């Protein structure tokens, strides 16, 4: 079949105050992103964190950059070493750093210099329950996210866990900048629907760039 959308250019949509979605922004570079993720995971493999409540997270995680997000029975924190093997995190690839900086700038956040990149890996059924990201020191700094592989339904809520949520499909190449009034909104990911993606197989990956310190 002739693919009417094969040459579709990226486009952007305002999501909420302070939040912008850049649809398909890195779609043409997806394989390069996936190869960088593979190289990072060769050194610091994905593993499943334990929540402070004692549950094993369904999302597997690794990190790159100076700091990595972690969780154990004592709480959530950013750490300069991988608790699984005592190694520091691999450096943030130039491509990652440049994208985070340029997407933030295009959304109106100048000078975004992330020091952490959390890499989430979703297998079928993996989910992220509604939460706020508030372990970073300066909440005037945005978070930039990049979605790769299988699509997922993102839940975008309000400032209370019980507030109604918008449902937004995030697909390979989508980049979202979350800042300003959106920075403390509750959000999550519904259980991943099984599928085979031509570039990423049975997984979804998500990068989140953060300025922690």
For ligand MD3, the binding residues (CB under 6 A) are 118, 120, 128, 133, 143, 145, 154, 176, 178, 182-183, 185, 187, 189, 206, 208
Name the residue number minimizing CB distance to Fe ion: 133
Which CB atom, from 156 or from 203, has the smaller least distance to Fe ion? 156
Q: Minimum Å distance from CB 2 to ligand MD3?
A: 32
Q: Decide which of ligand MD3, Fe ion, none touches 71; Cβ closer than 5 to 8 Å per partner kind.
A: none
* Nearest of 188, 205, 96, 64 to residue 148 by alpha carbon: 205
DSSP for 48-109, written as a single string: -PBPTTSPBPSSEEEEESSBEEEEETTEEEEESB-TTT-PBPPPPPHHHHHHHHHHHHHTT-
Stretch that binds Fe ion, among 126-134, 154-162, 177-185, 194-202 (CB under 5 A): 126-134
Q: Please give the size of the binding site for Fe ion, defined by CB under 5 A.
A: 1
Confirm or reject binding of residue 82 to Fe ion (CB under 5 A). Answer: no
* Nearest of 182, 168, 209, 203 to residue 30 by alpha carbon: 203
Q: Which of 133, 149, 173, 211 binds Fe ion (CB under 5 A)?
A: 133
Which CB atom, from 97 or from 187, has the smaller least distance to ligand MD3? 187
- Site residues (CB under 5 A) for Fe ion? 133
């Amino acid at each position: 079949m002739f693919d009417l959308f094969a040459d579709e250019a990226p486009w952007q949509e305002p999501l909420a105050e302070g939040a912008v979605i850049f649809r398909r922004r890195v779609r043409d570079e997806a394989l390069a992103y996936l190869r960088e993720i593979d190289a990072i995971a060769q050194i610091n493999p994905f593993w499943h964190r334990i929540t402070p409540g004692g549950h094993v997270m369904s999302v597997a995680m690794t990190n790159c950059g100076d700091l990595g997000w972690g969780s154990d029975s004592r709480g959530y924190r950013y750490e300069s070493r991988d608790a699984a093997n005592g190694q520091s995190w691999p450096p943030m690839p130039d491509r990652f750093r440049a994208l985070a900086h340029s997407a933030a700038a295009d959304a109106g956040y100048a000078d975004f210099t992330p020091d952490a990149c959390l890499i989430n890996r979703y297998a079928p059924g993996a989910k992220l329950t509604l939460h706020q990201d508030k372990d970073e020191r300066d909440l005037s700094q945005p978070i930039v996210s990049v979605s790769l592989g299988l699509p997922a339904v993102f839940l975008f809520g309000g400032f209370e866990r019980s507030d109604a949520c918008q449902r937004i499909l995030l697909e390979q190449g989508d980049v979202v900048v979350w800042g300003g009034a959106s920075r403390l909104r509750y959000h999550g990911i519904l259980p991943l629907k099984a599928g085979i993606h031509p570039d990423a197989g049975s997984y979804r990956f998500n990068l989140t760039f953060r300025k922690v310190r």
